[in-house]
Structure 1
Amino acid sequence: MATVEAHHVFSTSVEQLLGRRVCYQKHKPGRYLSLERVPRGVFQIDSVNQFGSRVVLNDGVVVMENAPTVIERRGRIALLLSTGEELYFTVE
């Protein structure tokens, strides 16, 4: 995480991930990030919905209790939540 955060090119919003093909890499768990339905192979981010403070990717594949900071660098996407949880994807 420190490498991505210290050397990030830019940060963006989670909506900018729409249409991207990604592959789950790893995550730093917690109780506010649900990854139970994340495919282990490559998948496309087709939808980003916000319900109050909750952000839902692909109709429940990823559920976050608040909007993350999204950092992309060299084919790696980091979603950093204010709760300290982290989710990493690689771009295909």
Structure 2
Amino acid sequence: MATVEAHQDRSTGVEILLERRVRYQKHKPGKHLSLDRMPQGTFQIESLTRFGERIILNDGIVVMENAPTVMERGGRIALLLATGEELYFYVE
């Protein structure tokens, strides 16, 4: 199975997630990515807050210590952090 990164020409910013309805798919964990409050099922990304390099989605459902590279392909969004961690959502 091909990855999102292998078939993506350009990356975009994390702002692409705002107002999108997404469903958590999977992640490659690490100490720089916190998913403790990740909802089950489909949810909407309503807020994105930046504190330096830290990115917080929906008041803390996802906390990233570094700004990710964001790629979208075929209804799937990949957030690729410089630390090697990855987070994938399906767009509903």
- State the distance in 1 between where 2:57 and 2:2 align: 25
1:15-59 deviation line (CA, Å, top 9, x unaligned): 121000000000000000000101111000000100111000000
TM-score (norm 2): 0.95
- State the distance in 1 between where 2:79 and 2:54 align: 14
- State the distance in 2 between where 1:22 and 1:9 align: 22
Q: Is the 8 A contact 1:9 1:72 kept in 2?
A: no
Structure 2 residues not aligned, in runs of 5+: none
Which residue does the alignment assign to 1:55? Answer: 55
Cα root mean square deviation, aligned: 1.4
1:69 and 2:69 equivalent? yes
Q: Is the 8 A contact 1:26 1:87 kept in 2?
A: yes
- State the distance in 2 between where 1:14 and 1:3 align: 19
- State the distance in 1 between where 2:3 and 2:69 align: 15
Identity of aligned residues (%): 73
Secondary structure at 2:11 match in 1: strand
- State the distance in 2 between where 1:74 and 1:19 align: 18
C-alpha change, 1:28 and 1:2, in structure 2 (3 Å) is farther
Which residue does the alignment assign to 1:80? Answer: 80
User: Structure 1 residue 10: deviation in Å?
Assistant: 3.3
Which residue does the alignment assign to 1:24? Answer: 24
Secondary structure at 1:11 match in 2: coil
